Amino acid sequence: MTSQISKALASTVSRRMTILVLLVVSLLSLHAQQSQSTMEQQLASLQRLEALQPDSIQPKYQQAVLLLGTVCSQPQDSKVQQYIDEAQCVIQRIEALQPTKATDRSDLATLHGFYYTALIVTNPQQNGPRYYRQALDSFDEALKLNPKNEMAKMLLARFNEGMNSNR
C-alpha cells in the first residue's frame, strides 16, 4: 500500500515538475520575444527622431549603439548580420555629415571601434585577428579626441577584458 502511495506521489510530483518546466520555458520564450520587439521599437523611435532631426548626430549615434550592443549581447541571433549592416549604414550617415567638433568625431571613432568589436564577437576565430588592431586604434582615437568620452572608455575596457578572457 505504501509503495502505491509513493508511486502515485512520485507521478504527481513528476507531472508538476513537467508543468513547471514548461511554464518556465514559455515565460523565457515570451521574454525573449518581448525584448526583441522592445529593441525594434526603440530603433523605430530613434529612426523617427532622426527623420525629425536629419542633421543631428545623436539619434544616429544612439541607433548604432543600440544595434551594435544587441549584436554583442546576442551574437547568435538570426538577425545579427542585418543589425551589423544597418549599423554600418548609420555610421556612414554620420560620416556624411562630416562632423567637425572633436566630441562628435570622438563619438564616430567610438562607433568604429564598437563596430569592429561586434564583428569580432560574431566570429572571434576569423574576425579577431582581422579587426583587433582596428578596434583598438578606433577607441584610442576616440579618447585622444575626447578624453572624457565615457562610452569609449567603457567599450575599450570591455574589449580588453574580453580579449584577455579569450587567451
CA distances to 58, 69, 70, 145, 146 from 118, rounded to whole Å, are 20, 8, 9, 22, 22
Predicted structure pTM score: 0.76
**Model pLDDT, residue 164:** 81
- The predicted-structure confidence for 56-101, as pLDDT tens digits, reads as follows 999 999 999 999 999 999 999 999 999 999 999 999 999 999 999 9
Crossing angle between the packed helical segments 150-165 and 124-145, to the nearest 10 degrees: 150
Each domain of the chain, given as residue ranges in start order, spans 53-165
Mean pLDDT of the chain: 84
Residue 146 CB coordination number (10 Å): 20
130: Cα separation from own chain's centroid:
20
- The predicted-structure confidence for 8-51, as pLDDT tens digits, reads as follows 555 554 444 444 343 444 444 444 455 556 889 999 999 999 99
DSSP label of 101: S
In 3D, which of 148, 162, 55 has the Cα closest to residue 117? 162
Pair 107, 149: CB distance under 8 Å: yes
